[in-house]
Structure formats: C-alpha cells, structure tokens
C-alpha cells in the first residue's frame, strides 16, 4: 500500500493526518482523520494509515461507480 504514495497531508500542527498524495500529485483524503497523539507509537499510527488508505480508496471507488 505504501509504494503508491509519496507523502501524507498533515494538519498545520502535524498531529492530524488528513490524506495521502501520490507521485503524480493526486490527493486522496482519508474518510476519517488520524490523530497521531492518540498513540504516537509509529507502528500503531502507520497501521491506522494503512487501514485508512484501504477504506478511503474503497469508499471513493464505490462513489465513482
């Protein structure tokens, strides 16, 4: 999942993840924002990012159909 993105979009303060950006500059917002401060352990919030990537892409695919 992570191979398709180059960066994540953060809120100003850097605590809230809003979405993902591809190499081509395409932006996909997460269905639900991720708060890093809920659990700053990198493995925990990266797992949340991965889950949110899958859910957000599935939701957008359904909306496009």
35 touches 49 (CB < 8 A)? no
Residue 29's nearest CA partner among 63, 53, 48 is 53
Domain count, the chain: 1
Looking at the DSSP bridge assignments, the partners of residue 7 are 21
The pLDDT-based confidence of 18 (bands split at 50, 70, 90) is very high
Range of the domain at 49: 2-64
Q: What is the pLDDT averaged over residues 19-42? A: 90
Dihedral (CA of 29, 40, 37, 48) sign:
positive
pTM recorded for the entire structure: 0.80
Q: What is the pLDDT averaged over residues 20-44? A: 90
pLDDT at 27 over 80: yes
Q: What is the CATH number of the domain that holds 44?
A: 3.20.180.20
What was the pLDDT predicted at 16?
A: 92
Alpha carbon distances (Å) from 2 to 18, 29, 50, 51, 64: 16, 15, 8, 11, 23
What was the pLDDT predicted at 45?
A: 87
What was the pLDDT predicted at 55?
A: 92
């Amino acid at each position: 999942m992570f191979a398709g993105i180059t960066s994540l979009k953060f809120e100003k303060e850097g605590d809230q993840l809003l979405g993902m950006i591809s190499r081509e500059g395409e932006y996909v917002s997460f269905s639900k924002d991720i708060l890093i401060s809920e659990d700053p352990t990198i493995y925990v919030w990266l797992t949340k990012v991965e889950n949110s990537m899958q859910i957000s892409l599935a939701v957008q695919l359904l909306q496009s159909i």
